[in-house]
Structure 1
Amino acid sequence: MTDPKLLSGLSELREARRACRGLMWSAAFFSIFVNLLMLTGPLFMLQTYDRVLGSRSEATLVALFAFVAFLFLVMGLVDWARNRLLTRLGARFQAKLDRRVFEAMLKKASMNQERGEGSKMDQQLKDLEAVQRFYASPVFSSLFDMPWAPIFLIGIAFFHPWLGMAAVAGGSILILSAVFNQIFTKTAAVKSAAASYVSDRYSEQLQNEAETIRSLGMQSNAFEKWSKTRNRALEQSVSAADKGGSFSNFSKTFRLFMQSAMLALGAYLVLLGEITPGVMIAASILLGRALAPVETVVNQWSTVQRAKRGWDSLVELLATVPADAVQVELPRPSAILDIQQVTVVPPKGRQATLRLLNFNIRPGEAVGIIGPSGSGKSTLARALTGVWPLSGGKITLDGAPLTQYHPAKLAQYIGYLPQKVSLFDGTVAENIARLSTNYDDERVVEAAKKAAAHEMILKLSQGYNTPLHAISTELSGGQIQRLGLARALYSDPVLLVLDEPNSNLDNEGSTALNNAIKSIKDNGGAVVIMAHRPAAIKECEKLLVLEDGARRAWGPREKVLSEMLTNFQAVRKTVNANTNTPGGVV
């Protein structure tokens, strides 16, 4: 890992792994006894063939067998304890990173959504789980056993040099098999993972748009398009499985062959009188034990590859999205908002959608932001809530830049109603309380009343305890928007940012919206409204007109509207004067 940009992410993962160091050293300690006790079988065979059969002593056989049974019991318990340690090692590693990865994914997803790239949250959660499963898998415990393989091979060489050379040759071939497995299956595994991801993403998109697909009769076309991505993923998966399976099959077959070859060589040396029959059997068993970890690694190489891809993906994620800095908690601010020379370039974008913007808001004011689609209204909303970083300038709340507030605290001070309101699995009350399960009942009801949603909620089957995942599709757009408004008001914000708040509201909802705006202003708060419809700016004292990301007009509402109307009439007269039809329509 030589890229300096990725070092911070790599450092975080290594820090989480260091937190599990105690468990790892304990597993290594248990591995010493596991591997020493693995000698029980070869030594028992050696003693049985050379001592018991030679002396024909039943007492010796019974004593040896009892001792061996005890050693195998101890070995089983020690190996069981080691596996439990490794399972907890993986769980602790995941627990150390769960919150950090989750917050990084949310932050990255909020930036990618506007560009239609998707959040990849499910994929990145699987990346963390892949690393966790690797630590708890047999292939990781085999890594503790592999250093013992040379010791076992040396032990075979002590029996006879020819046996040692045969064992080393067989072990070398298996190691080369593992190396070739890595080289030849890496590309196939990456292609398979990429194709599967594309197929899963397209399938998810089709599920989300099922209503549109069915209503427009797009099922057959959608299936054909999805089938192509599915077949491509299946082909890549089969190709990767074939390559990995070939190496796994070779390693298994070759290990069994080597044990038989060791028996054959041992038998030949017995015939020459250079070793005893017990040594022949013990050498074969010892070779199997020496090669077993290598075979496990080869057979489960897909687990190693998946964990490696997951590790690299997490490194990139954590490096791209640094952890939030520890902030000194500032007191509750006043609704004094200053926007100074603000320039915003969307994440991964190349062109600024807001340029050198200046305006301010004071307590008790409501400011309307108007302009054509694509003028930068939603970009400004994301900048005001801290979702998108600034490329230039600064935004201060009560004199402090937004970056000096912890994101969780900033969300309490700035309520946000996005254009598209999403409801989450949980009760109505939990959705209003921003998914908190330990919410304040009075604050939930108060927020719902301010959003004119209280009566609507009471009509639901279980009131505030109604599970939304079951009925959310039955709610109208206006009802969903009222719940979103209640959620924005739950924290009693000092600043309320509304992005097209009345796009789905009826007259009652629009009246409730205006009443909520009045209430915030009367309590010393401020409101910013991105609007297309005139009803949304009824309570606004000031207007900001955006065009191509720049400020076109700013000032008192009536003055700005009159200036825009004057300009419109002047343009209309000019156009009419240049047309052949008097009074032509613009």
Structure 2
Amino acid sequence: MKQNQLIQGLEELRSQRRKLRGLMWSVALFSVFVNLLMLTAPIYMLQLYDRVLGSRSEATLIALTLLMSFLFLMMGILDYARARILARAGAQFQASLDHRVFSAVLRQPSKDGGTTAGLKDLEAVQKLLSSPVITAAFDIPWTPVFLLAISIFHPWLGILAIAGGAVLIGITVLNQIMTKGPLTKATVATHRADQMAEQMRVESEMVRALGMSSGAYKRWHRSREVSLHENLRASDRLGQFSAMSKTFRQFLQSAMLGLGAYLALQGEISPGAMIAGSILLGRALAPVDMAVNQWQLVQRARAGWQALAELLAETPTEQERTRLPRPNAKLQVDKLTVIPQGASRAVLRQVTFDLNPGEALGVIGPSGSGKSTLARVLTGVIAPDAGTVRLGGASLDNYAPEALGQYIGYLPQRVQMFEGTIAENIAGLELQPDATAVVAAAQMAGAHELILSLPDGYDTRLAPGGAPLSGGQMQRVGLARAIYGEPVILVLDEPNSNLDNEGTQALNNAIRAVKDRGGAVMIMAHRPAAIRECELLLIIDDGVARSFGPRDEVLNKHVQNAQQIQTAQTNGGTQ
């Protein structure tokens, strides 16, 4: 099954590559004329030695030189044109897959390397398509033509050229075999070091606060040393074959001159043929030499192609769904079961409950009981392995992801801000946020005043980690983001974990406002104040729904300190 999926991923890449056929045929056509024009230098040299020097005709020299200059100008223009075409072919290939790859890695957030790795794989393929390696591939078929031209001068010159070309091809094949392992290890080691450095950067404040700087550096440095070691091994191996190829090619050209000089002394060829044969040999072997020198780029692109095929195979293209009307806030969960990838045990088992418009449901349970997993299922991030989740009577998978994001607002347990303004973050990173809707969401979340207190208000730019906002401020801005667009269901995962009393009151006011306009709210909570506005309560333990029903009834039945919790809710406490 996995092999069939991989074939589908490869076919998707190949289908995009087939769209470049027109451009590649243009490159092939230009390559024909470029390689024909490469005969200019040896023919010019042959004419100089055999005709101009013999006749001592200046007019012939001038005419040949002007013709040679024109032909080289044409060759330069055509060579530049095919390089431009290849650059645009690579750009077209990347542009055609950018959205597909970006969407695929977002649907696989746990995939090693995340978005960066997937897009780097695509970039590696694009760089190969735009590189001189492709022009070398179009030039290599002309190598036999040049070798045949050398053989016309004299069979011994042809034998030397063919034998030397065979040795260079052998070096290329050996280069591929011997460098594949080191290059793969170097790529993996570099990725691990970069991934660790990025994690340390994102969590830099926590690393410093916990006194982990020294340990973090040592751990990163150990990973970095492995990366450097593997890169040095790969570089040494590539350098070895590159130097071998370059040295042998230069030796071969000199040997061609030497053999040509001997044959000229024997009167079997002219001095012009001796020089022309050496030039032709250089032209014939140049593409092979280019392939050897650029082999690291080829290997990286091959690895990227394979990784892209696996990524696309594991995340098939989402089919277009019929746009459903805006649903009401009726949520139905029936026998929901979720088994994490690679796990043998479900984190949610046979969970069933209903939530109607105007109601709020509190979900409580110990850490690791499955509350956050339930929240992620309800937002469409995780697909259930069994059971159904319906919104407005339709299964969640009947809604397009973008539409579902508009209908279900989500405040995750750990709020993250993205680079951009506060208004852009509230509006879901829209390039042109609806200012009226942004302010309305912030006011409902009780974040309007705190945003206005910032130096640039809603236009304050945030760093990827959320600076300069504090944890509590990010929580309230995150709540505004969840409310933006007036979703029909609001899913809040530990919404008051970083809030003070004022923030908790603002949260409760927002929950009431959502219910008053006919929406529904789900709150995953530990603290009593978070379920103050809840009419219903669901207790989850070890992935199983232990009890569901009216809040006070469930509390009295299953929670020992129910009286204290109810008192705290009545008083609006935050314990």
Q: What's the TM-score once normalised by structure 2's chain length?
A: 0.95
Matched letter for residue 143 of structure 1: A
8 Å CA contact 2:91–2:126 kept in 1: the answer is: yes
8 Å CA contact 1:105–1:119 kept in 2: the answer is: no
Q: Which segment drifts farther, 3-12 or 549-558?
A: 3-12
Matched letter for residue 36 of structure 1: L
**Cα deviations by residue, 1:275-327 (Å, 9 ceiling, x for unpaired):** 11111111110010000000000011001001111111111111111121111
Alignment of 1:111-126 (within 5 A): 112=110, 119-126=113-120
3-state DSSP of counterpart to 1:369: strand
8 Å CA contact 2:172–2:288 kept in 1: the answer is: yes
Matched letter for residue 418 of structure 1: P
- Residue 132, structure 1, aligned to residue 114, structure 2: no
- Residue 432, structure 1, aligned to residue 426, structure 2: yes
**Cα deviations by residue, 1:21-60 (Å, 9 ceiling, x for unpaired):** 2111111111111101000001001111111111111110
Q: What's 1:170 paired with?
A: 164
8 Å CA contact 1:366–1:542 kept in 2: the answer is: yes
- Residue 77, structure 1, aligned to residue 52, structure 2: no
Q: What's 1:108 paired with?
A: 108
- Residue 36, structure 1, aligned to residue 27, structure 2: no
3-state DSSP of counterpart to 2:108: helix
Matched letter for residue 45 of structure 1: M
Q: Which segment drifts farther, 462-471 or 516-525?
A: 462-471
Q: Distance in 2 between matches of 1:467 and 1:348?
A: 40
- Say if 1:559 and 1:216 are closer, same or farther in 2 by CA, change over 3 A: closer
- Residue 22, structure 1, aligned to residue 16, structure 2: no
8 Å CA contact 2:418–2:464 kept in 1: the answer is: no
Q: What's 1:581 paired with?
A: none
Matched letter for residue 481 of structure 1: Q
Alignment of 1:362-381 (within 5 A): 362-381=356-375
- Say if 1:362 and 1:241 are closer, same or farther in 2 by CA, change over 3 A: same
Give the percent of matched residue pairs that are identical in Structure 1 and Structure 2: 57
Matched letter for residue 515 of structure 2: K
| 1:301 maps to which of 279, 295, 300 | 295
- Residue 449, structure 1, aligned to residue 449, structure 2: no
Structure 1 unmatched ranges of 5 or more: 570-586
Q: Distance in 1 between matches of 2:77 and 2:127?
A: 22
Q: Which segment drifts farther, 466-475 or 169-178?
A: 466-475
Q: Distance in 2 between matches of 1:151 and 1:91?
A: 32
**CA shift for structure 1 position 124:** 2.0
Q: What's 2:497 paired with?
A: 503
- Residue 487, structure 1, aligned to residue 481, structure 2: yes
Matched letter for residue 283 of structure 1: G
8 Å CA contact 1:365–1:525 kept in 2: the answer is: yes
Q: Distance in 1 between matches of 2:560 and 2:552?
A: 12
- Say if 1:71 and 1:2 are closer, same or farther in 2 by CA, change over 3 A: farther
- Residue 198, structure 1, aligned to residue 192, structure 2: yes
8 Å CA contact 1:346–1:388 kept in 2: the answer is: no
Q: What's 1:47 paired with?
A: 47
Q: Distance in 2 between matches of 1:358 and 1:292?
A: 70
Q: Which segment drifts farther, 175-184 or 136-145?
A: 136-145
3-state DSSP of counterpart to 1:108: coil
Q: What's 2:238 paired with?
A: 244
- Residue 222, structure 1, aligned to residue 199, structure 2: no
**Cα deviations by residue, 1:354-380 (Å, 9 ceiling, x for unpaired):** 001111111111111111111110010
**Cα deviations by residue, 1:140-175 (Å, 9 ceiling, x for unpaired):** 111010111111111111221111111110110000
**CA shift for structure 1 position 216:** 3.8
Matched letter for residue 9 of structure 2: G
- Residue 535, structure 1, aligned to residue 529, structure 2: yes
Q: Distance in 2 between matches of 1:361 and 1:225?
A: 48
**CA shift for structure 1 position 194:** 1.2
Alignment of 1:131-530 (within 5 A): 131-469=125-463, 472-530=466-524
**Cα deviations by residue, 1:128-149 (Å, 9 ceiling, x for unpaired):** 1111111111111110101111
**CA shift for structure 1 position 118:** 5.3
Matched letter for residue 181 of structure 2: T
**Cα deviations by residue, 1:460-509 (Å, 9 ceiling, x for unpaired):** 10111111129933322111100000001112100110101111111221
- Say if 1:253 and 1:566 are closer, same or farther in 2 by CA, change over 3 A: closer
Q: Which segment drifts farther, 225-234 or 73-82?
A: 225-234
Q: Distance in 2 between matches of 1:566 and 1:452?
A: 33
8 Å CA contact 2:462–2:468 kept in 1: the answer is: no
3-state DSSP of counterpart to 2:238: helix
| 2:550 maps to which of 556, 567, 575 | 556
Query: What is the alpha-carbon root mean square deviation over aligned residues?
Result: 1.7
Matched letter for residue 67 of structure 1: L
Q: Distance in 2 between matches of 1:358 and 1:146?
A: 66
- Say if 1:439 and 1:471 are closer, same or farther in 2 by CA, change over 3 A: same
Q: What's 1:88 paired with?
A: 88
Q: Distance in 2 between matches of 1:250 and 1:453?
A: 67
8 Å CA contact 1:156–1:164 kept in 2: the answer is: yes
Q: Distance in 1 between matches of 2:351 and 2:217?
A: 47
Q: Distance in 1 between matches of 2:417 and 2:531?
A: 26
- Say if 1:72 and 1:566 are closer, same or farther in 2 by CA, change over 3 A: closer
Matched letter for residue 497 of structure 1: V
Q: Distance in 1 between matches of 2:97 and 2:272?
A: 52
Q: Distance in 2 between matches of 1:347 and 1:523?
A: 38
Q: What's 1:574 paired with?
A: none
Count residues in correspondence. 563
Q: Distance in 2 between matches of 1:483 and 1:219?
A: 30
**CA shift for structure 1 position 226:** 2.1
Q: Which segment drifts farther, 444-453 or 8-17?
A: 8-17
8 Å CA contact 1:266–1:280 kept in 2: the answer is: yes
Structure 2 unmatched ranges of 5 or more: 564-575
**Cα deviations by residue, 1:87-142 (Å, 9 ceiling, x for unpaired):** 00100100001011111111111xx1xxxx75432222211111111111111111
8 Å CA contact 2:202–2:465 kept in 1: the answer is: no
